Each structure stands twice: as structure tokens, then as C-alpha cells.
Amino acid sequence: MDAAKCRNATKYQNAVEVMNMKTIDAIVEGGKATAGPPLGPALGPLGVNAGQVVAKINEATKDFAGMKVPVKVHVDPKAKTFTIEVGSPPTAEIIKKEAGIEKGAGNREAPAGNIPLENLDNIAKAKKNSLAKTAKETLKEILGTCISMGINVDGKKAKDVMKETDEGKHDSLLKG
């Protein structure tokens, strides 16, 4: 077999291996995944040890204790092997943790909590899955989440802080 055919055969083999991989998407509480639903029933038919998968997920998500975290488990059913991919927690989960609340506001009149602007800047720097191109855009995404959750920022309505951000009043914070 010549070199070109050999390379194509290798590419085909790699493509088949990727196609045989099964991916399980789940949202788990950081450090507290269990072999129950949704993971256990999905992992059982694939022949991997659910206990080992759960232990690895809990180890990888322990820093997100108290938050819901997206997780992908890639399983090769033939080899009975797996890999874990941990995503970034949703912005709302991080905000709830930072503000010390369990859920957003039930109505627009009473704020659900308050969070310092500096904490939002830290969240913006930590967000891996933001579609924003700049730190200012990422901060505005987070402020938008605060608006929808009824969270005040530095004692002000998040909508007012958003206007201040548009006017450039918080640019010094974003450069730091």
C-alpha cells in the first residue's frame, strides 16, 4: 500500500473511532455528582464504571461547590474508557454564589441581592464561554444577567450600572 492510501486509511480509522465515541451531556452540582440520574442510566449501557466516572467528575468540579456545572463525558464503549470535560458554570450560578442568594428576584420591586462591581469584574475575567470580544462587553453580558435576576450592583439597579458602563465610567476597573 502506498503512503497516500496508508494516510487515508489512518484518517478513516480515526474518524471511525471518533464516531464510536458516545457523549453524555449533564449538568451536575459541583463536587456532588451521583451515579443516579442523569449519569448512571446513561453510563450503564456503555459498560464503564459509573462510580469511577462520578469520582472523576466530583474531583474536577469540587471548586464549583454549590453551583450547577455543565459536564460532558466522552465514552469509548469498545475500550470501556472515558474522558471528562467540565464547562464553565452559567453566569447566573456564579452571580447567585457571589451575591449569597439561592435564586433571583420573584418580582421587579424587591431586589434579590446586591453584588459589588469588583466581583462582576472578577466573574467577567473568569468566564471562558463568553461570546464577547472585550472585557467591557463581557461585563455588560454579566450586568444583563443581573438585570434579569433582579440583582443590584453596588447598591444601584444593574440597568443604571449598564448605562454607566456604556458611558465609560467603569473603564478604569476593566483595565486593571
- 72-124 pLDDT, tens digit per residue, is 999 998 988 999 999 888 888 888 888 888 888 777 678 888 999 988 887 88
Q: What is the pLDDT of residue 144?
A: 92
Q: Kindly give, in sequence order, each residue whose CB lies less than 8 Å from that of residue 29, ignoring residues fewer than 6 positions away.
A: 65, 66, 67, 68, 69
* Cα distance between residue 73 and residue 85, in whole Å: 6
Radius of gyration of the chain (CA): 22
The residue with greater pLDDT, 129 or 8, is 129
Q: What is the pLDDT of residue 136?
A: 86
Return the exposure string of 14-49: e unless at least 16 CB atoms fall within 10 Å of the residue's CB, then b: eeeeeeeebebebebbbbebebeeebeebbeebebe
- Report residue 132: phi and psi, to 5°: -70, 150
pTM over 0.85, yes/no: no
Task: Tell which of 86, 112, 142 closes a domain.
Answer: 86
Residue 42 sits in a domain of what CATH number? 3.30.1550.10
Flag whether pLDDT at 58 surpasses 50.
Answer: yes
Task: Tell which of 61, 86, 111 closes a domain.
Answer: 86
Task: Tell which of 68, 86, 104 closes a domain.
Answer: 86
> What domain range includes position 20?
3-86
37 and 55 inside one domain: yes
The count of structural domains within the chain is: 2
125 and 142 inside one domain: yes
82 and 95 inside one domain: no
How many C-beta atoms surround the C-beta of residue 64 within 10 A? Answer: 20
Flag whether pLDDT at 159 surpasses 60.
Answer: yes
Flag whether pLDDT at 1 surpasses 60.
Answer: no
Q: What is the pLDDT of residue 109?
A: 73
- The answer to whether residues 29 and 68 touch, using CB atoms and an 8 Å cutoff, is yes
69 and 107 inside one domain: no
- 11-23 pLDDT, tens digit per residue, is 444 444 456 789 9
Q: What is the pLDDT of residue 8?
A: 46
